[in-house]
Amino acid sequence: MSAATAAPPTYVWEPTTDFLAAKYHLPRESIVRFDVNTSPIAPDLGAILGGAFDPPLNEYPPSDYAPLVAAAAQAYGARTDEILPTAGADEALDLIARASLREGSVAVVATPTYAMYRIVSEQRGATVIQVPRLGPEDDFRLDLDALAAAARTAQTVWLCEPNNPTGALEPPERIGRLLAMLESQADRDERELPLVVVDEAYAEFSGRTVLPLRRDYSRLVVVRTLSKAHALAGARVGFAVATPETLAPIVQFRPPASVGTVSAALATAALRRPELAAGNVARIADQRTRLQRDLASIGWRPYPSVGNFILIRFNSPAAAAGAAESLLRRGLVPRSFDTGHPLADCLRLTVRSAPENDRLIEAARGIPA
Ligand SMILES: Cc1ncc(COP(=O)(O)O)c(C=O)c1O
C-alpha cells in the first residue's frame, strides 16, 4: 500500500473576470481588477517599441538573452553577469527555491507577505519558519533580531520590499543591518551564509532598492519584475540579480528559453525607456494619495503604502468579508485573505485609474468599515 502524498501547496488567485461576470450577472467589461496589483493602463507599445517590431518567432531566443540582459544591467546598475532573466519574478522565486532548498532545509519568511515564498519553499520539502513583522503601529517593520535568530539554521531567507500586502518599506539601511547580523553569526557558527532573497517587485514605486548591498553580502539575491511599474504583467519577464557566484547554482535550474522571444524583445525595449515606467509610477502615486484620502474620509482605514496597492483594515474578518462581497456585486474585485490569516480583517486594493478609483469610492460609501 503506498502512503498518501499530500498535495503540494499552490497559489490561489481570486476568481477570473469571466467567472465573476457570470456569477454576479455583470457585463464582463464592467469588472475591475483591484486584486492583482497590475497597471490600470495597458503599455503604449508604439512608444515602447518606437518602430518596427519583428522578433524572429521561428527561432528560439538567444540562449544568453544578450540584449535583454544588457538592458536590465543598465536599468539596475549591475554587470551583465549579475543578471538572470526569468519568466516573471515568480519563476525567479521558484528557481531560487529549487537551487537552495530540499527536504530537511529551513526557509525563513517575514510575514504577512507574498504567499509564494512559503509555497515554493514547501514545494521543495523545506520547513518554513514564519517571523511576524511588527504591527501597524511600528509601520510593519521587520523584527531584525527574530529574523537573525531564525536564520541561524536556515538556507534561505525571503523578504519582500516594499512588502506585499502591507505596502510598507523597510529602509534599505535596516536590511543592511540584518545582513551584517547574519554575517557575524555565520562567522561564529562556521557555516555557509543563508541566501537572502529580497523581492523588489514594487521597487520602482518606492524609489528605493537594496541592490547595492550585494557588494557587501554576496549571498543577496534581488528579484525584479516588469509586471508592475512597467505595466507588462502579461509579458512575464522578471530577473534575479546577484553576484555571478550566487547566481550560478540558480541558473542551472532554469529551463531553456523560458522567456519567449516576443516578451524578451518587449522587455528589452521597455527597460530602455525608463521614463515610461516613471510616468506610470507618478500617475499611480497621485491616485494612491487621492484614494487614501477619499477612503479615509468615508471612515475606511487605509494603511500608508509606497506600493501600487493599499491595505485596508476593517472592524472584523466578517466586516472585511462583507465589504468584499459588496464590492464584488458591483464588479470591483478586491484581494481578500483567508479565515485564519493574520490579515483576515483586511482587504488589499490595487490603485487603478481615476475613473476606476471613482467607482471604488462611490461603492465604498455605502459599505461599513
Ligand atoms: C511581491 C511579489 N512578487 C512577485 C510577484 C509576481 O511577479 P511576476 O508577475 O513578475 O511573476 C508579485 C505579483 O503580485 C508580487 O506581489
Minimum CA distance residue for ligand 1 atom 2:
201
Give backbone dihedrals phi and psi of 301, rounded to 5 degrees, phi first.
-120, 85
Peptide bond into 112 cis (omega under 30): yes
In this predicted structure, what is the pLDDT of residue 66? 97
In this predicted structure, what is the pLDDT of residue 190? 66
Nearest to 170 by CA among 202, 194, 193: 202
Q: Please list the pLDDT of the chain residue by residue as tens digits (369 residues).
A: 444 567 878 999 999 999 999 999 999 999 999 999 999 999 999 999 988 888 999 999 999 999 999 999 999 999 999 999 999 999 999 999 999 999 999 999 999 999 999 999 999 999 999 999 999 999 999 999 999 999 999 999 999 999 999 999 999 999 999 999 999 987 777 678 999 999 999 999 999 999 999 999 999 999 999 999 999 999 999 999 999 999 999 999 999 999 999 999 999 999 999 999 999 999 999 999 999 999 999 999 999 999 999 999 999 999 999 999 999 999 999 999 999 899 999 999 999 999 999 999 999 998 999
Cell triple for 77: 546598475
In this predicted structure, what is the pLDDT of residue 6? 74
In this predicted structure, what is the pLDDT of residue 192? 84
Q: How far apart are CA 216 and CA 340, in angstroms?
A: 39
Index of the ligand 1 atom closest to the CA of residue 113: 1
Index of the ligand 1 atom closest to the CA of residue 37: 14
Q: Calculate how far, in angstroms, residue 272's C-alpha sits from the geometric centre of ligand 1.
A: 21
Q: Calculate how far, in angstroms, residue 118's C-alpha sits from the geometric centre of ligand 1.
A: 14
In this predicted structure, what is the pLDDT of residue 187? 75
Q: Calculate how far, in angstroms, residue 300's C-alpha sits from the geometric centre of ligand 1.
A: 26
Index of the ligand 1 atom closest to the CA of residue 38: 14
Give backbone dihedrals phi and psi of 200, rounded to 5 degrees, phi first.
-105, 45
Q: Calculate how far, in angstroms, residue 185's C-alpha sits from the geometric centre of ligand 1.
A: 31
In this predicted structure, what is the pLDDT of residue 2? 43
Testing ligand 1's pocket by substitution, the residue of 118, 159, 225 carrying the most ligand atoms inside 8 A of its CB is 225
Domains of the chain: 17-43+275-365 (3.90.1150.10), 60-272 (3.40.640.10)
Q: Which residues line ligand 1 (CB under 6 A)?
A: 37, 88-90, 114, 160, 164, 199, 201, 225, 227, 233, 238
Q: How far apart are CA 41 and CA 282, in angstroms?
A: 13
Ramachandran category for residue 350: left, alpha or beta (phi over 0 → left; psi -120 to 50 → alpha): beta
Q: Calculate how far, in angstroms, residue 271's C-alpha sits from the geometric centre of ligand 1.
A: 18
Testing ligand 1's pocket by substitution, the residue of 12, 14, 33, 90 carrying the most ligand atoms inside 8 A of its CB is 90
Index of the ligand 1 atom closest to the CA of residue 90: 11
Q: Calculate how far, in angstroms, residue 190's C-alpha sits from the geometric centre of ligand 1.
A: 34
Q: Calculate how far, in angstroms, residue 201's C-alpha sits from the geometric centre of ligand 1.
A: 6
